[in-house]
Amino acid sequence: MTDTTDRNSGVEGGVGVTALLVAAARAIETHRRDSLAQDAFAEHFVRAAPASAGWPVRGREAPGGDANPLWGRFARYFGLRTRVLDDFLLRSVRADARQVVLLGAGLDARAFRLDWPPGCVVFEIDRPGVLAFKHRVLDGLSAVPRAARVPVPADLRADWVGALTGAGFDPAAPSVWLAEGLLFYLPSAVESHLVGAVDRLSTGGSALAYEAKLEPDLLRYRDSPLYTATREQIGIDLLTLFNLEPRPDSAGALADRGWTTSVSTPFEFTHRHGRGPLPEQNDALAGNRWVFAHKPRR
């Protein structure tokens, strides 16, 4: 992760710019005829940041359209991931949880676009610069959240637990946690600490979803179409942002603490929904996994 800041947009460089990449992908997905997820706010984030103002927000604006590795296949991946995690969050709050915690929330607009049941509170944890940019764009749109929304300005490498509980989070109440596109940017020790903190703050009936990369040698995919297109078209070298340390077995750690866990490939959900990326040669998505965990009531 990097500490550089885009002073014009308020979005921090490095990982902050990847939040704009996901927003652009969500905008493209929103305008597809066979869209899996709708995010009417996404294109406004993209247009408001100087770093991404010229990026496509519709498929027809991308060179080559859907055949473009970045704005076609990679954007499809983000659209599918958005839908799968939307569904997970809504199932969780319709069951037990009423507290939603978005870890590294970035430009996630779920508090504004999902149909939350009454009584839900959405906590959005991210660095102050990212949240300030997000607030400016949403305020300019007069956007109204569909649940109680509590921004929590905090760095996940610092005392985010204190910031979260200080913002009103109740560890005694069931919660659902989301770490979307986050953990592989963090040092292994920080990931382990984060997962342990989620466990300590979660009572029975809570749930967690996160994305992991199981590929032990990410550099082998340096010349994959996804990474090459991202470098060449928008100047983001994802492999310099990912933490390349060996990753901890967070799913195993949760299971040891009594959680039930399941691990899926994105391609399983492609088959389930009938659209999304499928495996290909030299595939940078080959090691991606989506992990879903539930802490049973005792």
Q: Does 296 score more than 90 pLDDT?
A: yes
Average pLDDT estimate for 7-11:
49
Residue 222: inside a domain: yes
Residue 136: inside a domain: yes
Q: What is the DSSP string of the chain?
A: ----B-TTT--BSTHHHHHHHHHHHHHHHHTSTT-S---TTHHHHHHHSTTTTTS-SSGGGSTTGGGSIIIIIIHHHHHHHHHHHHHHHHHHHHHT--EEEEET-TT--HHHHS-PPTT-EEEEEE-HHHHHHHHHHHHHTT---SSEEEEEE--TTS-HHHHHHHTT--TTS-EEEEETT-GGGS-HHHHHHHHHHHHHH--TT-EEEEEEE--S-GGGGTTSHHHHHHHHHH---HHHHS--SPPP-HHHHHHHTT-EEEEE-HHHHHHHHT-S----TT-TTTTEEEEEEE----
Backbone torsions φ then ψ of 244, nearest 5 degrees: -95, 10
Confidence of residue 215 (pLDDT cuts 50, 70, 90): confident
pLDDT tens digit string along 254-280?
999 999 999 999 999 999 999 999 999
Predicted TM-score of the model (pTM): 0.95
Residue 6: inside a domain: no
pLDDT given for residue 284 in this prediction: 96
The chain-wide mean pLDDT, for the chain, equals 94
Residue 35: inside a domain: yes
Residue 7: inside a domain: no
To the nearest whole percent, how much of the chain has pLDDT over 90? 93
Residue 96: inside a domain: yes
Range of the domain at 160: 15-294
Q: Does 110 score more than 60 pLDDT?
A: yes
Q: Say how far apart CA 87 and CA 114 lie, in whole Å.
A: 10
Q: Does 144 score more than 90 pLDDT?
A: yes
Q: Does 216 score more than 80 pLDDT?
A: yes
Average pLDDT estimate for 240-245:
95
Half-sphere exposure of 66 (CA within 13 A, CB side): 10
Domain harbouring 173, CATH code: 3.40.50.150
Residue 109: inside a domain: yes
To the nearest whole percent, how much of the chain has pLDDT over 70? 95
pLDDT tens digit string along 41-92?
999 999 999 999 999 999 999 999 999 999 999 999 999 999 999 999 999 9
Residue 10: inside a domain: no
Task: Give the chain's domain count.
Answer: 1
pLDDT given for residue 199 in this prediction: 98
Tokens of 205: 């009936």
Q: Say how far apart CA 290 and CA 265 lie, in whole Å.
A: 6
